[in-house]
Amino acid sequence: MTIYDAPLRTLSGEPTSLEPYRGRPVLIVNVASQCGLTPQYEGLERLHEGYADRGFSVLGFPCNQFGAQEPGTAEEIQTFCSTTYGVTFPLFEKVEVNGEGRHPLFEELSAVADGEGYRGDVRWNFEKFLVSADGSVQRFAPQVTPEDPILVAAIEAALS
């Protein structure tokens, strides 16, 4: 299985997959509305808008596994993201990123090591996975902000 094969649902509940993004760089992020890192939504939206004309997308996956910081319904999540942070990037159904219920997408992504060699369970909300056009994955810790030069340089390289 590849990340493109994993069955997904949009935040509104429509069946989908990542197949439409095959061959395009994307930044997959597990997100939450009530986290100290939630303001990263602003930077993620700037990345999404700033690179959209080059085929890049941010893809958000709400998760309630860390401190119950994403307790809302799909409608509440959508309203919060759009009204508070102006989010226009695609949001998917709430998923589990760790444990027995880990979504197959995050089963694949969590096997990738970050720059410090960490692989395994997602550590917290806003962990980032940059998938290049060729399907290779780079992992970034939750504290790496969307504006971090390391992440921006990786996105730029994925777009070249």
Which residues are annotated as catalytic?
A: 35
Please provide the DSSP assignment of 125-143 as one string: TT-EEEE-TTS-EEEE-TT
Nearest to 37 by CA among 137, 109, 128, 149: 128
In angstroms, the Cα distances linking 159 to 37, 137, 140, 149, 152 are 26, 13, 17, 15, 11
DSSP summary character for residue 46: H
